[in-house]
Every structure is written in C-alpha cells, then in structure tokens.
Structure 1
Amino acid sequence: MGMILAAPSERVPIEPGLIKVWFQFVPREGWLPYDTEGLWATRLSRDTARVANVPFLQDGVAEGDVVRFITDDDGLHWACERVEASGNCTIRVLPVPDGPLGRSAQAVRERLAAFGLGGESFSSELSLIAFTVPADADLGQIRTLLTRGQMDGWWHFEESCITDAWRSA
C-alpha cells in the first residue's frame, strides 16, 4: 500500500464508535501524491459501513453512502464497493490564490453559507474545501453559484460524486 492520508480533520473521530474505512486509488497526475484516503464511517454490519465525512481525494463516494469493506490482517478496513448511494453529492472547491477570495477557505464557505452545506477544509496550507451537498438542497442554485464563481475567478471546483438530480438541475 502507498502513503496513508490522515488529514488533520481526520485524525480524531468526529463522533465515538466510528471506524476508519480506507479507499485506495490511482493518484492523479499533478495533484496530491496520495493513493489512499481514510474516511470515518458508522459500522452497519460485519462488512458494511455508512460514510460519516466528506472525501477530499476519493471520487465516486459521498457522505452518507454505504460501502462494503474487507478487513486485512493489520485490522485496516479497505473499501471494496459502494453498495448504497445516499443521494448526496461531493463537490470540491479550491480558491484561486490570486483571485478575489485569495487563498481563503473561509471566504469560500461564506459564499456558500446560504445553502447550509457541510464540509471540511484540507489544511491551512492547502485551502481545498470538500462539501457535502445534500440530496434535498437547491442543486440548481448551488451549481449556478459554483459555475459563476469559477467564471469570475473565485475558485475552481470539481464534481467528485454527483447524482442524476445534480446533472439535471
């Protein structure tokens, strides 16, 4: 296995009784040099868990999704597949350093605050914010704001895990 990612926000469980489920992936060219990401999850059965935080690097999974995992000889839980989608989306936003918001993760959060999105910042050095967009959020308005912000040079954003509802909003 490669380098195991434990971002500052992930080192301490966000609520008691959670397990860490690890995802392995091929690192993207020109992006962070990690090939694994650990996400907190609520264990549902011997081999399934509901993801309890938003992923920074793993694509195709969102907070609230249920994943199947295997446990290795070292006791690490490795995700195998998503078995139930929550309907939530994962959107990542990176402010443009020389744009109107500078490197401020807080300024990004303030722009999206009206939508009540939950999210986490990667670190003080990298102001990447991963947001959970709930299935019942105003997807059209959120997409419009994200697109406008990108066109106006505020940020770059990527759709890491989206739904048909997001696509058609």
Structure 2
Amino acid sequence: MKKMIAMALISALALPGAAMGAAQLPSSDKMLNDYSRYAVVYTSDEERVYVDTETIERDPANAGELPVIRGTLYAEVYKDPLTYPDYGNDRMVEYIFQYETAVGADQYGREIRYRILNKLQGVYTPDGKPAAYTGFHDEPADEADDIYAAMYRLSKNY
C-alpha cells in the first residue's frame, strides 16, 4: 500500500513538471495577433518570420563589437501557389518552421557582414500541431542582415 501511495505521489509530481517542460507552439493566428509577444523580423513573398520576444538574449560584447543575438524564430511558409480560396478562407500559411537562432554581425572596415545559424526544432501546421514534412525547403530566415537589425532593436527592450 505504501508503495502504491509513493508511486501515485511521484506520478502526481512528475506530471506538472512534464507539462511545464513541454512548450506550447503558437498558432499562426496567435503570432499574428499577439504583438507584445511575437514580433515580425522578416517578411517576403514566401514567408513571414516572427521572433518570440520572451526568448531574445543578447550575448555580452566588448566595446566596439556587435553582440550575437539569440532567440526562437517561427517562419510561416506560405502555400505556393496561393489561390483565391487561400486568401478568402484565410488559409495562406502551409507550415510553421520553428528555429533556435543565433545571428551576429562583424565589422570589416566600413562593411558589416552578417551571419545566421538556424537549428530547426520542428515543423507544424498553422494551428500549431506537429506536421509530417517530406519536402525540401530552403532555410527560412536566411536574410541575416534584416533579422539582425530587427532582433538588435528588440533585444534592447528585453
């Protein structure tokens, strides 16, 4: 009996920890409408990239250097080709790619060179559910200069 009570107690304590450890992926609508949490850092004809502002971190940098900035990016990849019903039914987004990203910049003379490292964490449907993705997609969020500038400005506020 004591063993059963101990197991029940351990199970009860473990469940909240497991639930807290599992991050809830935001839906496309959540990112679009929650301006205080998800900021747009890049957009193109093919995608719209958000950063979760609660994940932005700025590495320490020496005087005269630019910091590396880290955060979680979500790239909404649009359907291709988009059709009139896609627009009319608000079904433009085909997938959401989640990335852990580090973006940096170095100055060489008068030129600044940008670099970005994206680590794909998962692929999801527009409503935030895991998706089986079998296609090849160029890494969204490859515009390091635009993303660095946006995340740099945002990182000053967080």
TM-score using structure 1 length: 0.27
Max radius of gyration: which structure? 2
Q: Is the helix fraction higher in 1 or 2?
A: 2
TM-score using structure 2 length: 0.29
